[in-house]
Chain A
Amino acid sequence: MSIGAPTSDAGAREPAAADAPLVSIRHLKTYYPIRGSFGQRLLGREAGYVKAVDDISLDLARGEVVGLVGESGSGKTTLGRTILGLVRATSGEVIFDGREITAMSERQLRPVRREMQVVFQDPHASLNPAMTIEESVGHPLRIHKIAKGVELRRRVAEVLATVGLSPPEQYMDKYPSDLSGGQKQRAVIARAIVLNPSLLVADEPVSMLDMSVRAKILELMLYLKRELDLTYLYITHDLATAKFFCDRIAILYLGRIVEIGPSDVIYEDPKHPYTKALLRAIPEPDPRRSVPRDLPRGEVPDAARPPRGCSFHPRCPLAFEVCGWEPRDLADLLEARWALQPEVEYEAERAIVGDLSVLATEETTVRLKASAKDGGPAIARFLETVRADDPGNPFWKGVRKIVPADGHVDLEMFEPLAPRQLAVGTSQVECHLFDDDALAEGRKRGLERDST
């Protein structure tokens, strides 16, 4: 098809080899600027960035289904949108069928967009309530000037039948409000495939649907993949549905792929502590299982101020000396302790350590000032009490030393090491537990700490 073919070189098509990946993502970064105060905005200064996608590389082979799994804030949706060109990449490359698309203009992107389509989470919000199903599903054909009139109606009918909305005449003149949730999602999928794309990005396509229809929509998507030779990027928080759908699964945490591997390996032999936690948390309709208690603490941290070292370290039960323990983790530890204490004890302990806001630093060493002139030793004693009450808490592995002086205490943490992506079997994992160098460094630091 030559309609709207771009004239500039950037969009010119180099014939991609048949065995080349359909999509190849290289060191992709998508950062969102944080708008600071009014004054900063006035001066055009940024207050920092949220690294929604932070150096991700990933290939999608033709016909492959890759799952992007993570909690909210993991960057999975931003990654999907960056691949589609809906969000501008900060740096890195997205090579789609031989063409680098992150640098393309809107105009150059338009013909490429015909080949990559998206299905969003909420079928109720994805369809214009004022358009009939025929208008909605036929809209892409009109926009790309591919069909109109009788031909458009014929193609819409065809695609509606393909997605199971048959007989199509029964649905074409209906409005979204006349359809059930499952039927709407079928219409959304019909609109996505009407241009005969090669890539379909499905962002939580079944999570808003009732349990009773989820299986049907997943089956429809698998059927379409076979019939239409589609390649899928399946974005979800739900490892249970991904199991049925994906050839490979990438686990995302705060903008990075912490583990990626073949689906069966991810389920049978998860490596990263975060992957293990996600799997454990899925509710099972098996009454012999009770609610899991050994869950990671807390929630996904603020992406504007990600933890140092490995982002997962504050929630990780296995984090050790090199994982990035930092002063603000002490604040979390104390808060968790105080939540369980009677008010009087909390007030007393709080008075000893004083203001916790000094812990909110990026530094490795922090000075806790005592309110009394000679209160330093009291803070040190208090910290030792906290340690003695829960010596197994992995935070203490990250403490290099606690140095008391008259009026303050210096809390010195070990320097964080950033985890490297390592091949472990058929998976790639970003975790120090699989890195012999990091383990050796951890042992060395442990000896140093214990000798002081």
Chain B
Amino acid sequence: MTDTPIVSVRDLRVYYGTVRGSVRAVDGVSLDIGAGEVVGLVGESGCGKSTFGRGILGLLPEGAASNGEVIYGGRNLVGMSPKDLRRLRGPDLGLVFQEPMTRLNPLMRIEDHFKETLEQHESNLTDREIRRRSLETLGRMGIPPTRFRQYPHEFSGGMRQRIMIALALVLRPKLLVADEPTTSLDVIVEAQILAILADLRETFGTALLLITHNLGIVAEACDRVAVMYAGKIVEEGPARDVFIEPAHPYTKALLSSTISLDTEELHSIAGAPPNLIAPPLGCRFHSRCPDAMVVCGWKDPVELQLGEGRRTACWLHGPAEEIPPGETAPLERTELAVAEEA
């Protein structure tokens, strides 16, 4: 990346308070997103990827505490007042959720959804202008103007998701966070929506953080990918490089467990992700890692740069001088039961 990123996250932590203790959903995550960039964030359910997406937008539920930095336009969004955050959300930072049915008001026409959104954030627009902007954005999402006055129930699932995306994009945000935007859609419709998202840069100049558990989606649509495990980013880099030559054993395992048409043998990842109330010492993946060494069981891995824009946190890549002598020996582990799984 040559330009300064639009959003720069530094050491973000988000903890949820529960009766059993605090859950460290996001535990010291740093990530930059450049202008117009499409970044994929992948991981198993419960790894903290959705919390991270919401943390960026300051949309955390009650009982969540966050610290660290989310720098946008020179200001830190962590700790910003709800009022200031609301002003940024929408025109600057947009969000698209899964399950579009639950996000549109069934009693409001599509037209009114757009009117409400635009009036809220750009109160100087005339009705004529609102209509023009809305129709243009919807059109680029493939929704014809003939349907502008219809209600949400008159649209199919895929069209509703297009409307949701249009509703976020009509404000021309600099960054759109899309959390599993295609999960409940059919394969062909999913591919249609992905084609739209992958083109956001050309059509709207918007950067995209695409949160998903499906590596296939990331490979096809993203410039860069960050792999998250148990609240931490274990590897990040250009999507192409990471997929062709994954550095972290978790990335490798995740890739080989993805079932696609090219898959020749079924693979799965043994064991289950750790409890984030009391995360294990050392590397959080060590109990499931086929390559774990003695050092991995007690010492936090150090994040390393691996060439242009690539980083990973894994002792297999060093730094060798920080591994105590003899601790590169394989880690002895208790046998995992068959059903120890996610």
Whether B253 pairs with A295 at a CB distance below 8 angstroms is: no
CA distance A287 to B242 in the complex (A): 9
Given contacts A165-B339, A210-B44, whether A287 and B239 have CB atoms under 8 Å apart is yes
Whether B266 pairs with A338 at a CB distance below 8 angstroms is: no
Whether A291 pairs with B266 at a CB distance below 8 angstroms is: no
Interface size on B, residues (CB 8 A): 62
Nearest CB of A to B137, in Å: 11
Nearest CB of B to A448, in Å: 32
The answer to the question of B194 belonging to the interface, with a C-beta cut-off of 8 Å to chain A, is yes
The answer to the question of B107 belonging to the interface, with a C-beta cut-off of 8 Å to chain A, is no
Q: Identify B243's interface contact among A72, A285, A338, CB under 8 A.
A: A285
Nearest CB of A to B308, in Å: 16
CA distance A277 to B192 in the complex (A): 12
Nearest CB of B to A227, in Å: 14
A residues in contact with B186, CB < 8 Å: 71-72, 237, 299-300
B residues in contact with A287, CB < 8 Å: 219-220, 239-240, 243-244
A residues in contact with B156, CB < 8 Å: 299-300
Whether B143 pairs with A285 at a CB distance below 8 angstroms is: no
The answer to the question of A346 belonging to the interface, with a C-beta cut-off of 8 Å to chain B, is yes
**B298-342, CB < 8 A from A:** 337-339, 341-342
Given contacts A299-B189, A343-B131, whether A218 and B266 have CB atoms under 8 Å apart is yes
Interface size on A, residues (CB 8 A): 61
Given contacts A183-B341, A285-B219, A286-B243, whether A211 and B146 have CB atoms under 8 Å apart is no
**A255-283, CB < 8 A from B:** 267, 277-283
Nearest CB of A to B210, in Å: 12
Whether A267 pairs with B254 at a CB distance below 8 angstroms is: no
A residues in contact with B253, CB < 8 Å: 212
Given contacts A166-B339, A281-B190, A286-B262, whether A291 and B220 have CB atoms under 8 Å apart is yes
The answer to the question of B80 belonging to the interface, with a C-beta cut-off of 8 Å to chain A, is no
B residues in contact with A210, CB < 8 Å: 44-45, 213, 342
Nearest CB of B to A226, in Å: 15
The answer to the question of B85 belonging to the interface, with a C-beta cut-off of 8 Å to chain A, is no
A residues in contact with B187, CB < 8 Å: 71, 237-239, 278, 281-282
Q: Identify A71's interface contact among B188, B198, B268, CB under 8 A.
A: B188
Whether B341 pairs with A284 at a CB distance below 8 angstroms is: no
Interface with B: A110-118, A240-248, A431-439, which one? A240-248
A residues in contact with B67, CB < 8 Å: none
The answer to the question of B259 belonging to the interface, with a C-beta cut-off of 8 Å to chain A, is yes
Q: Mask for B156-200, Cβ within 8 A of A = 1, else 0?
A: 111100000000000000000000000000111111101100100
Whether A212 pairs with B268 at a CB distance below 8 angstroms is: yes
Given contacts A282-B261, A340-B139, whether A211 and B254 have CB atoms under 8 Å apart is yes
B residues in contact with A183, CB < 8 Å: 339, 341
A residues in contact with B254, CB < 8 Å: 211-212
Given contacts A210-B213, A284-B219, A343-B132, whether A295 and B192 have CB atoms under 8 Å apart is yes
Whether A211 pairs with B142 at a CB distance below 8 angstroms is: no
Whether A338 pairs with B268 at a CB distance below 8 angstroms is: no
CA distance A183 to B342 in the complex (A): 8
Given contacts A166-B338, A183-B341, A343-B132, whether A286 and B139 have CB atoms under 8 Å apart is no
Q: Identify A215's interface contact among B188, B215, B262, B266, CB under 8 A.
A: B266
The answer to the question of A48 belonging to the interface, with a C-beta cut-off of 8 Å to chain B, is no
Whether B268 pairs with A214 at a CB distance below 8 angstroms is: yes
B46 to chain A: closest residue by CB: A210
Most A-side CB within 10 Å, residue of B145, B195, B253, B255 = B145
Q: Mask for B217-231, Cβ within 8 A of A = 1, else 0?
A: 111110000000000
Whether B188 pairs with A212 at a CB distance below 8 angstroms is: no
**A149-166, CB < 8 A from B:** 164-166
Whether B220 pairs with A282 at a CB distance below 8 angstroms is: no
Whether B266 pairs with A336 at a CB distance below 8 angstroms is: no
Q: Mask for B52-91, Cβ within 8 A of A = 1, else 0?
A: 0000000000000000000000000000000000000000
The answer to the question of B135 belonging to the interface, with a C-beta cut-off of 8 Å to chain A, is yes
Whether A211 pairs with B257 at a CB distance below 8 angstroms is: yes
A residues in contact with B126, CB < 8 Å: none
Nearest CB of B to A133, in Å: 11
CA distance A290 to B198 in the complex (A): 9
A residues in contact with B17, CB < 8 Å: none
Given contacts A219-B266, A339-B139, A343-B135, whether A281 and B259 have CB atoms under 8 Å apart is no
The answer to the question of B18 belonging to the interface, with a C-beta cut-off of 8 Å to chain A, is no
CA distance A335 to B220 in the complex (A): 29
Whether B188 pairs with A278 at a CB distance below 8 angstroms is: yes
The answer to the question of A393 belonging to the interface, with a C-beta cut-off of 8 Å to chain B, is no
The answer to the question of B108 belonging to the interface, with a C-beta cut-off of 8 Å to chain A, is no
A residues in contact with B263, CB < 8 Å: 240, 243-244
The answer to the question of B258 belonging to the interface, with a C-beta cut-off of 8 Å to chain A, is yes
The answer to the question of B147 belonging to the interface, with a C-beta cut-off of 8 Å to chain A, is yes
The answer to the question of B260 belonging to the interface, with a C-beta cut-off of 8 Å to chain A, is yes
Whether A285 pairs with B255 at a CB distance below 8 angstroms is: yes
Whether B259 pairs with A295 at a CB distance below 8 angstroms is: no
Whether A283 pairs with B268 at a CB distance below 8 angstroms is: no
Q: Identify A212's interface contact among B214, B269, B339, CB under 8 A.
A: B269
Q: Mask for B257-301, Cβ within 8 A of A = 1, else 0?
A: 111111100111100100000000000000000000000000000
Whether B268 pairs with A216 at a CB distance below 8 angstroms is: yes
Closest 5 CB pairs of A and B: A283-B216, A335-B144, A164-B338, A215-B266, A215-B268
Q: List 14 A-B contacts (CB under 8 A).
A: A213-B342, A214-B268, A215-B257, A239-B261, A240-B260, A283-B191, A283-B214, A283-B216, A283-B219, A284-B219, A286-B260, A287-B239, A287-B244, A335-B144
